[in-house]
């Protein structure tokens, strides 16, 4: 299992979290998505490698910006 963490800016509520979850959830291979407007953290889990570019693009499609943490 691979888990990548991203810092997301612009989230303020549960609707923001839902928008990101929906967009990132469309990426093939992603099994778990945890996102918190309170902490600004997005955790993405996959059995294989995670393509950061796809995750960052999905967050941008949802209307937010993100960077890979750590």
Helical axes 14-24 vs 52-61, angle rounded to 10°: 130
Structural domains in the chain (count):
1
Going by pLDDT thresholds of 50, 70 and 90, the confidence category of residue 9 is very high
Confidence of residue 36 (pLDDT cuts 50, 70, 90): very high
Please state the separation of Cα 2 from the chain's center in Å: 14
Tell me 18's DSSP state. H
Query: Domain containing 41 — which CATH number?
Result: 3.30.70.100
Residue 3 confidence class, pLDDT cut points 50, 70, 90? very high
**pLDDT exceeds cutoff 90 at 70:** no
The domain containing residue 53 runs over which residues? 2-68
User: 8 — alpha (psi -120 to 50), left (phi > 0) or beta?
Assistant: beta
C-alpha span between 33 and 67 (Å, rounded): 16
User: 41-56 pLDDT, tens per residue?
Assistant: 999 999 999 999 999 9
Contact 45, 30 (CB under 8 A): yes
């Amino acid at each position: 299992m691979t888990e990548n963490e991203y810092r997301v800016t612009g989230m303020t509520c549960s609707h923001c979290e839902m928008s990101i979850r929906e967009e990132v959830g469309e990426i093939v291979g992603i099994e778990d998505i945890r996102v918190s407007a309170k902490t600004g953290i997005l955790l993405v889990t996959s059995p294989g490698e995670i393509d950061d570019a796809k995750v960052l693009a999905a967050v941008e499609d949802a209307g937010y910006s993100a960077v890979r943490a750590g």
